[in-house]
Amino acid sequence: MKVIRVKNADSFARPKEPSYNKKLVESIIDQVRKSGDTALRKFEAKFNGVSIKTLQVSKKEIHDAYQSVTREQMTAISMAKDNLARTELALKKQLKEIRIDSNGIKIVKSFSALDCVGCYVPGGLARYPSSAVMSVVPAKVAGVQKIIVVTPPNKQGGVDPTVLVAADMCGADLIFKVGGAHAIAALAYGTKSIPPVDKIVGPGGPFVTAAKYLVSSVTSIDMLAGPTELAIIADDSADPEFVALDLISQSEHSADTTCCLITTSKKLADSVNEIITKSTSIQRKEIVLSSLNKNGFVALCDKMSDAINVANKLAPEHLEIITRQPQKLAKQIKSAGLILLGKNTPSAASDYLLGTNHVLPTNRFGKSRGSLSVLDFMKIQTTVESSRNALERIDKKLETLTTSESLPNHYLAVRKRL
């Protein structure tokens, strides 16, 4: 990884413009909107070389999936589900009804679950049962009535058994064998097989992200999650092997990931680079080295306050803090998708079993939101009730404001009641 001496933290904070064929994605969405299931089957054949007769996963396919997974896999999925559900339930319990009663005006704010959501689970050549857990569990805990999972089929026209088991165990109501931008379009507009949803969540590749953006005027989405990001703030107390392994672990996602070390120790920077360069045992080595060589870097800072500033400007998806006092430094971090404290909290563990969600904001969106949670599957419902006395009390001020905005009928609608 290249070593950069930090002189201006802002230079590290330039967001990447997404790269995709906008016209192609718009065309895919338009064809699904017009032709529904026919378009979905056509695109699965075109992009994935798969002939799909029945889009919905059957009960028999789910039953067979349970027979195909090992006991160890089921236990691991169950642990991931339970750990995340425990966290999400604790958050939901904080969402209590709020009542404000002042000067004859009664306002009630309550939290209600969405009716129907779509969870995109990446798949096809890969398998991500963990992504099914991360999307479906918070929706189930929130109380969503209908949870729909869409995931790309494999070359045999089926879905990986671990993904099916994870989705079913976590509470998915319907599962469909369709992926890519056309799956997002189906969730947004609905087809004969797939009902339209109130919100689409879950990670995906550039075409999925682009489709989510383009349908966001029709249905709500969680976030535009791009390639994985990891930043590690570390001082000279950090074990360079731990740091190197964590950078390698996240860079194996794809060649587009961005992984970096932010440190005040040149010795640590050199050691980490040496471990990565000289290692002969890196698995998925081509992807890892491509990612680290193309996008990885070491930000070498004069003092820890500069390192914190760089991290806040980057607003990375994952931020590990491996220093002598990680809790103290964490209080100064305002912009990260997930903060992981200490040498025993690697991001790789949080991707699966620590009880945190791995669907996280990227490309600086950590400045404005956190991980996927029950909050993404609930809305604030507000009711207000006003008395006649309250209207009398605001009469003159209302006249002033409506007159200043040249909206006289607003005032007349209130004045008539008085």
385 is catalytic: no
- Write out the chain in H/E/C secondary structure: CEEEECCCHHHHCCCCCCCCCHHHHHHHHHHHHHHCHHHHHHHHHHHHCCCCCCCECCHHHHHHHHHHCCHHHHHHHHHHHHHHHHHHHHHHCCCCCEEEEECCEEEEEEEEECCEEEEECCCCCCCCHHHHHHHHHHHHHHCCCEEEEEECCCCCCCCCHHHHHHHHHHCCCEEEECCHHHHHHHHHHCCCCCCCCCEEECCCCHHHHHHHHHHCCCCEECCCCCCCEEEEEECCCCCHHHHHHHHHHHHCCCCCCEEEEEECCHHHHHHHHHHHHHCCCCCCHHHHHHHHHHCCEEEECCCHHHHHHHHHHHCCCEEEEECCCHHHHHCCCCCCCEEEECCCCCHHHHCCCCCCCCCCCCCCHHHCCCCCCHHHHEEEEEEEEECHHHHHHHHHHHHHHHHHCCCHHHHHHHHCCC
Of the candidates 318, 385, 399, 410, the residue annotated as catalytic is 318
The Cβ-side half-sphere exposure at 212, using a 13 Å CA radius, reads 25
What's the CA gap between 107 and 279, in Å, rounded? 62
Tokens matching residue 181: 């931008």
What's the CA gap between 80 and 87, in Å, rounded? 11
317 is catalytic: yes
Of the candidates 252, 317, 320, 358, the residue annotated as catalytic is 317
What's the CA gap between 352 and 133, in Å, rounded? 9
Which positions ≥6 away from 200 have C-beta within 8 Å? Answer: 117, 118, 120, 184, 187, 188, 212, 215, 219, 220, 221, 222
List the catalytic residues. Answer: 317-318
